[in-house]
Amino acid sequence: RRANARGPPPPRYADVMKDVPPNHYARLGLSEDATAEEIKKASKKMRIQTHPDQVKKGNPNMTEDELAKVTSTAANVGEAADVLEDPDKKREYDEKIREWKRKHGGRLPKEHA
């Protein structure tokens, strides 16, 4: 049997996605070229908007599963804000994104927010 003349097969989607960093910019509704001021403003807005107590006010009859999802979303927003608001952490994160893009091409998938 002859080897494939086109080179190795493309990586499987699951293999590519297993090392993708979380998309902190998408979590805060920002583009990757957001300024420090835009990050600060979006962080504050999203922290308030996704805080479990705030969400429960609008839906006092939440199930435990719904509350767990809200809590997870709030934690993800908090993590994104913590990383992007700190210049050193943001620099490291941005480098990780650039490296991932070099390795896999394109941009970070939004569904990984």
Each residue's pLDDT tens digit, 17-56: 667 788 999 999 999 999 999 999 999 999 999 999 999 8
CA distances from 19 to 13, 25, 33 (A): 11, 17, 22
Summarize the confidence of residues 77-94 as an average pLDDT.
97
pTM of the full predicted structure? 0.77
Distance from C-alpha of 91 to C-alpha of 74, rounded to nearest angstrom: 23
What does the mean pLDDT of the chain come to? 85
Q: Which two tokens stand for residue 10?
A: 């493309």
Judge whether 112 and 17 are in contact, CB under 8 Å.
Answer: yes
Confidence category of residue 14, pLDDT binned at 50, 70, 90? low
Q: Return the C-alpha torsion angle 61, 27, 46, 59, nearest 10.
A: -10
Summarize the confidence of residues 67-76 as an average pLDDT.
95
